[in-house]
Amino acid sequence: MTQRKRTTLRELAASIGVHSSTVSRVMNPETRHLISDGVVEQVLKAAHERYFSPNQTAATLRTSRSHIIGVVLPDIANPIFPPILRGLEDELARKGYIPLIANAEGGKERQRFVIDQMVARQVDGLILATSDRNDPILEHCLAVGIPVVVVNRSEDSGRASCIVGDNRLAMLRAVTHLVQSGHTAIAHVAGPDDLSTGHERRLGFLEAVRENGLKEAECPVVESRAFHRDEGRTACNTLLELHRGITAIVAANDLLALGCYDSICAHGLRCPQDMSVVGHNDMPLMDSVAPPMTTVRIPLYEMGVRAATLMLENLDGSATAHVNIVLRPELVVRESTIAR
């Protein structure tokens, strides 16, 4: 099959009797408003019929902008990320940008490789969902001189803008809900302490325990090695074997909470009759698991929108300083928690 010859911008302009600069403005969402609606419709119709798309490489050379934002994820299979990505993509599209998404699971060496490949392809900025609290990868990005925004996690240096949920308030709402339901021996399955989400939710849990007047000795914490379902099962196994008196578990994310479901069932117990469980994030389908999960809802779509906004402000020069945006959580009570 013979490959179709690519239509050039000049050829498209000549075919409809307009100047090539007019076509260029129409094909750029940021300048399309400068052209009359009738001409815009004519150009877009001809572009569709001729399978025309702008030569982005040439445009990048002219403007020093690729209009591509690199997005680096720690685990592309984690259901938390599609709503964030949708928010990112919707907001970037409004300004004519697209995301280039990569999975960087596998450690710092893999993350650096992914980032270097994105920089080599001239992305205009990087949105990182992979950052540790003290992250050498962030240092590397800043040394390269590329704009960075951190999403869903924060980092301790304050050298990049971050968008996160209010982890401590989330834990307070989860623990308070359980206390008001009559629970006094509440455990926490924590995330890794080197990640801001694991660290801050652990601190938030302990603060909530104290604020609700519970005894810390009766509210154990077991740290998981990753925010994965199997790690939640392993951590919950430890809790059930070493702390027989607990009646409720607050997990640091929904995947860990699902692992707790597995462990509770394997021990011949029932959720929530024998053990109440609270998750965190309200990722898609948590209302469809058995039992439907009580969890802390984070506005994930808004998180993506705000991350994209911060990046665009960085690129157009309107951002004057790094900011830390904290989104308020909401407790969603379903059927995995009951009163004692």
Collapsed DSSP state (helix, strand, coil) of residue 100: strand
Distance, CA of 237 to CA of 67 (rounded, Å) = 48
Greatest alpha-carbon span in the chain: 80
Say how many C-beta atoms besides its own lie within 10 A of residue 6's C-beta.
Answer: 11
Same domain? For 181 and 285 the reply is yes
328-339 per-position pLDDT tens digit: 999 999 999 999
Same domain? For 175 and 260 the reply is yes
Distance, CA of 220 to CA of 185 (rounded, Å) = 8
User: In this predicted model, which residue has the larger pLDDT, 31 or 185?
Assistant: 185
Give the per-residue pLDDT at 56. 55
- Percent with pLDDT over 70 in the chain: 94
Same domain? For 161 and 171 the reply is no
pLDDT at 2 over 50: no
Collapsed DSSP state (helix, strand, coil) of residue 34: helix
CATH number of the domain bearing residue 194 = 3.40.50.2300
Same domain? For 213 and 314 the reply is no
Give the per-residue pLDDT at 264. 98
Return the DSSP state at 132.
-
Closest CA to 261 of 252, 253, 272: 272
Same domain? For 292 and 311 the reply is no
User: In this predicted model, which residue has the larger pLDDT, 184 or 120?
Assistant: 184
Contacts of 90 (CB under 8 A, 6+ apart): 304, 305, 308
Bridge-partner residues for 188, per DSSP?
221, 250
Q: How many helices (H) and strands (E) does the chain have?
A: 12, 12
Which residue segment(s) compose the domain that 115 sits in? 66-165+300-329
Contacts of 181 (CB under 8 A, 6+ apart): 248, 276, 337, 338, 339, 340
What is the pairing mode between strands 330-332 and 294-297?
Answer: antiparallel
1 located within any domain: no
Chain position carrying tokens 């928010």: 87
Same domain? For 145 and 294 the reply is no
pTM for this model (two decimals): 0.81
pLDDT at 3 over 50: no
Q: pLDDT confidence of 51, banded at 50, 70, 90?
A: confident
Q: How many domains does the chain have?
A: 3
89-134 per-position pLDDT tens digit: 999 999 989 999 999 888 888 899 999 999 988 899 999 998 888 7
Give the per-residue pLDDT at 108. 85
226-285 per-position pLDDT tens digit: 999 999 999 999 999 999 999 999 999 999 999 999 999 999 999 999 999 999 999 999
Phi, psi values for residue 2, rounded to 5°: -75, 135
Closest CA to 160 of 317, 298, 325, 328: 325
Structure token pair of residue 57: 């490489």
Same domain? For 291 and 175 the reply is yes
Distance, CA of 197 to CA of 164 (rounded, Å) = 9
Same domain? For 26 and 105 the reply is no
338 located within any domain: no
Starting at the earlier edge strand, list the strands of the sheet with 221-223. Answer: 221-223, 186-190, 248-251, 276-281, 294-297, 330-332
